[in-house]
Amino acid sequence: MSIIDNFKKLPSQTKTLLAAGGILGLLVALPLFIYAVTNQNFEIRNRAQEACPTAPPCNGTLLTADPIPEESSCQVYVCITSSPIPTPSVSPSPTASPTPTGTPSPSPSASPVACNPSDINKDGITDINDYGLLVADFFKAAPANPGSDINSDGIVDIVDYSIFVSSFFSQTGACE
């Protein structure tokens, strides 16, 4: 039995209530969605930049990097510690026999892979930084960042958002 067959078997009052509920849901949800998209100022980057971390305790060398102005206003901290390198031990072999060696083959070099289209800033991962760029260009026919129009249809819209959400936190590593 299909859903349609089951629906046909329902009493007429139930069908009327289901239809009224569906229409009422659309009448309430759609204007709220349109209002939120057109009138809200998301400012995700500004919220994320308000709380910059302090330098962590470090038992080695603490390096700091200045922020990239368009990416963040927070400094980046890296703690480098040195660990002792173990000394290999040599055990004597009972018989010394020469071992034939082949000619070394060159190791393949890693070539950059194509970025995920949702990786708007092309840093190798689809994350909150890409989301900030997408939101900044939402419903714009001429986005500040052309990568925000993920499906290349000429406008940054809900289709681009859907593609973005489906690949959130996917990683490609180094990409072009």
Q: Strands 61-65 and 76-80: what pairing?
A: antiparallel
- For residue 96, the model assigns a pLDDT of 57
> Residue 94: inside a domain, yes or no?
no
- For residue 83, the model assigns a pLDDT of 56
Sign of CA dihedral 33, 37, 43, 48: positive
Identify whether residues 77 and 120 lie together within a single domain.
no
Helix 128-136 and helix 158-166: axis angle, to 10°?
180
Element (H, E) at 63: strand 61-65
> Residue 107: inside a domain, yes or no?
no
> Residue 147: inside a domain, yes or no?
yes
How many residues would you count in the chain?
A: 176
pTM recorded for the entire structure: 0.38
> Residue 146: inside a domain, yes or no?
yes
Predicted confidence (pLDDT) per residue in 47-81, tens digit: 444 556 677 777 777 777 666 666 666 666 666 66
Identify whether residues 122 and 155 lie together within a single domain.
yes
Residue that the structure tokens 């039995």 belong to: 1
Identify whether residues 34 and 57 lie together within a single domain.
no
> Residue 138: inside a domain, yes or no?
yes
Which of 65, 88, 156, 92 is CA-nearest to residue 118?
156
Regarding predicted confidence, which is higher, 83 or 15? 15
What single string gives the DSSP state of each residue in 92-128? --SS------PPPPPPPPPPPBPPPTT-TT-SSB--H
- Please report which confidence band the pLDDT of residue 10 belongs to, taking 50, 70 and 90 as the band edges: confident
Domain that holds residue 18: 10-40
What single string gives the DSSP state of each residue in 59-83? SSEEEEEPPPTTT-SS-EEEEE---
The CATH number for 150's domain is 1.10.1330
